[in-house]
Amino acid sequence: MSEGLTRRDFVAAATGPAPASLLDSAQARAQVPAKRRYAIVGTGSRGIGMWGRGFPTRYANELEFVGLCDVNPLRVEVAKRALGVACPTFTSLDEMLDKAKPDLLTVTTVDAYHAECVVKALGRGLDVITEKPMVTDEAQCKAVLDAEKKSGKKLTVTFNYRFAPKHQKIKELLLEGAIGAVSSVDFSWYLDTSHGADYFRRWHRLRSKSGSLWVHKASHHFDLINWWLAADPVEVSAFGGRHHYGKKGPFRAVNCRPCPHKANCQFHWDILKSPQMKSLYVDCESADGYLRDGCVFKEDIDIPDTMNAVVRYSNGVAMSYATNTFMPIEGYRLAFNGTKGRLEIRDWERQPWPVEEETEIYLMRNFGQREKVAIPKAEGGHGGGDTRLKDLIFKNASMPEYMRLPDSRAGAMSCLTGVAARKSADEGRPVKIGELVAL
């Protein structure tokens, strides 16, 4: 008998029609699982902002915080205060898993450490939610997929972009065949001198930590394309260059606060102006030496700032892809070319001039007219995707089948596209996904 159903409810439901109200309440109770023992590893801005803040109220019936873990002992305490939770804090994931005994772990560490956290948690029988990118190289990818298979537990990769209503609309138009069969995709992503530069200030600037923006950032975009096309990437040819940040800069310092070039540097950023940034990073520097306001012209920057690739997919589609990181604009241009027309999207996320609409989608039919597509409005981070994704994970919110949670295979395919691009740019040759991991 289902937990929560009384014997009388069960007999009534089993022996004939019962009043709808009785069935509804019995079914509702039967569907309410016990609260999950929830923990986070990596309590930086994403860990607390996306995966903790507001949870004690919004998911009060679904989750109970049992542990927070970060290698930085000061930051994990700041996080605990910011979230207003009473659970214990840890600096070792093993210790947290042993003592706090969570049954659901969210992984929001620096990218290069996602895999080891995911493998440990799956190995102890937990369901795991990991931020993108799932992994930063092919060896980590294989380890994660093997660990999930062995554990029988579930790994969810949080591709929030899919859940923005504008992206769902694109999926629906493609599913209904609005432009026939897709033959090619043009996709250019623009990061501006604020957000784009920020990657070069932080740990993301090091390939050993982020896998480069091919993996850290582009895996978001590659996942969208894999999902929109319902196809797998097969082969990648890519080029990457550094034209503006790192050694290309006119001068440099270690970080912005003590910099002697403040007055001349357009990238100067005063972290002390944000009380939240100060408490989460500056006040925690003594524990690990991590400088959140690193110089964008530091010589150790080893990732490209300009990336171009061609990706071939299992359904014969080819995509030309580009990301530029020091643009006056933030947003993207995207087009699907098909046998019956073209779907053209322009996303204006930030620019120094006003725009009438943040996103425009046009459906152009061959031998026909251009039609403007209405986009459902949404509030919140990442085009409204963040909240919808969380409600789907924690409240099992109702969504169509094509909006189901991204799994480890999606995590693998998106990362491997980035890894293949990185390898292709390094080695000057096309790289097949099958060379990296057999899926």
Ligand X SMILES: NC(=O)c1ccc[n+]([C@@H]2O[C@H](COP(=O)([O-])OP(=O)(O)OC[C@H]3O[C@@H](n4cnc5c(N)ncnc54)[C@H](O)[C@@H]3O)[C@@H](O)[C@H]2O)c1
Instruction: State the residues that interact with ligand X by CB under 6 A.
Output: 41-47, 69-72, 75, 93, 108-111, 113, 131-132, 158, 160, 216, 382
Q: How far is the CB of 196 from ligand X (least distance, A)?
A: 14
Q: How far is the CB of 377 from ligand X (least distance, A)?
A: 20
Residue closer to ligand X by CB (options 45, 188) is 45
Q: How far is the CB of 5 from ligand X (least distance, A)?
A: 38
Residue closer to ligand X by CB (options 41, 129) is 41
Q: What angle do CA 390, 32, 149 make, to 5 degrees?
A: 60
Residue closer to ligand X by CB (options 55, 313) is 55
* C-alpha to C-alpha distance for 371 and 360, rounded to whole angstroms: 11
* C-alpha to C-alpha distance for 15 and 13, rounded to whole angstroms: 6
What are the φ and ψ backbone dihedral angles of 16, each rounded to 5 degrees?
A: 155, 180
Give 157's DSSP letter.
E
Q: How far is the CB of 321 from ligand X (least distance, A)?
A: 18
* C-alpha to C-alpha distance for 288 and 146, rounded to whole angstroms: 32
Task: Give Cα 322 to chain centroid, integer Å.
Answer: 19
A 10 A CB-CB count for 439 gives: 13
Residue closer to ligand X by CB (options 236, 291) is 291
Going by C-alpha positions, the residue among 364, 347, 346, 313 that lies closest to residue 180 is: 364
Q: How far is the CB of 14 from ligand X (least distance, A)?
A: 45
Residue closer to ligand X by CB (options 39, 329) is 39
Residue closer to ligand X by CB (options 338, 406) is 406
Q: How far is the CB of 44 from ligand X (least distance, A)?
A: 2
Q: Closest residue to ligand X, Cβ-based?
A: 44
Residue closer to ligand X by CB (options 47, 331) is 47
Residue 195, CA distances (Å) to 4, 191, 246, 336 in order: 49, 6, 16, 26
Q: How far is the CB of 62 from ligand X (least distance, A)?
A: 21
Residue closer to ligand X by CB (options 71, 229) is 71
Cβ 205 vs Cβ 303: under 8 Å: yes
* DSSP states along 333-398: EEEEEETTEEEEEEEEEE-SS--S-SEEEEEEETTS-EEEPP-----STGGGHHHHHHHHHHH---
**Backbone Cα Rg of the chain:** 23
Q: How far is the CB of 398 from ligand X (least distance, A)?
A: 23
* C-alpha to C-alpha distance for 1 and 8, rounded to whole angstroms: 11
